[in-house]
Amino acid sequence: MSVVITVAPTGPIASKADNPHLPTQPEEIADAVARAYELGASVAHIHLRDTEHRPTADPDVARRTMDLIAERCPILIQLSTGVGLSVPFEERAALVELRPRMATLNPCSMSFGAGEFRNPPADVRRLAGRMAELGVKPELEVYDTGHLDACLRLRDEGLLPDEPLQFSIVLGVAGGMAATPENLLTMAQRLPADAVWQVIAIGRRNLELTAIGLALGGNARAGLEDTLYLRKGELSPGSGPLVERAVALARALDRPIAGVEEAAGRLRLPAR
Ligand code: KMH
Ligand code: ZN
């Protein structure tokens, strides 16, 4: 089965001091996404930063970034509603009003490194319902086994679109599951049989867990949001080399890379 590659070029945490190639401004993000598209990415997972490089849910910044990406390539845009730990939930949720093809839905509150990631149940339910109204496909971010159960409850309440659901198994966030093959296997086995899924492997075990996810039939995410390094001590000069690496892993496993049209079908994105 073909592989949907998602590029995650920015994220909420890292700074240019951590990796000078991190894109933070709309033009920089659009350029990084266009490069990833050329290399095989069909989905772009987007976090926004203000002019001081802080996470923001400013809809003007989001619209401008989406427009700049669309000028460059037809990649499917997935806005992060995680945004950043300091941004209030209401502002984060309002991003779906821009009607990206996809947006993330983080089902539970949790510790997140030294911070707190607030996703109160009533707010999550409201956001899920609004995404369904707008035809914005949720990517369900599960950082622990209970998060999957929370998603299945949302589904049972009719707050998620028709299956198949799209999941990210997030490994390696301090506060969520550790980045181990055992945790990945446990989660992959617990997903609904027809779920579409990818691994988000944060930090040092990014390569290994991305490879295992691909071998298990999952999709792949690649980019500086998840790891700043290509290997120990070697910063990645942008997300491009990480996307190239994911593409090479998929091809080595005889899995072709999905183009945008195919990815939209595989992810069951509502027609526009
Ligand atoms: N930053 C990752 C740990 C989101 O942006 O909504 C998870 C993520 C979720 O990408
Ligand atoms: Zn993200």
In a domain, residue 262? The reply is: yes
Mutate-to-test residue for ligand 1 from 123, 200, 228, highest number of ligand atoms within 8 A of CB: 200
In a domain, residue 10? The reply is: yes
Give the pLDDT band (50/70/90) at residue 163: confident
In a domain, residue 45? The reply is: yes
Distance CA 19, CA 252 (A): 29
- Does the CB atom of residue 55 touch ligand 1 within 6 A? no
Residue 122's domain spans which residues?
5-266
Contact 6, 247 (CB under 8 A): no
Model confidence pTM above 0.95: yes
Average pLDDT over residues 64-75: 98
pLDDT digits (tens, 9 = 90+) for 39-63: 999 999 999 999 999 999 999 999 9
For residue 265, what are the contacts with CB-CB under 8 A and spacing of at least 6?
none
In a domain, residue 272? The reply is: no
CATH code of the domain in which 31 resides: 3.20.20.70
DSSP states along 41-65: --EEEE--B-TTS-B---HHHHHHH
Contact 254, 213 (CB under 8 A): no
Give the up-direction half-sphere exposure of residue 246: CA atoms within 13 A in the CB hemisphere.
37
Question: What's the gap in Å between 80 CA and the centre of ligand 1?
Answer: 7
In a domain, residue 271? The reply is: no
- Does the CB atom of residue 206 touch ligand 1 within 6 A? no
Contact 147, 105 (CB under 8 A): no
**Position 176 pLDDT exceeds 80:** yes
Domain count, the chain: 1
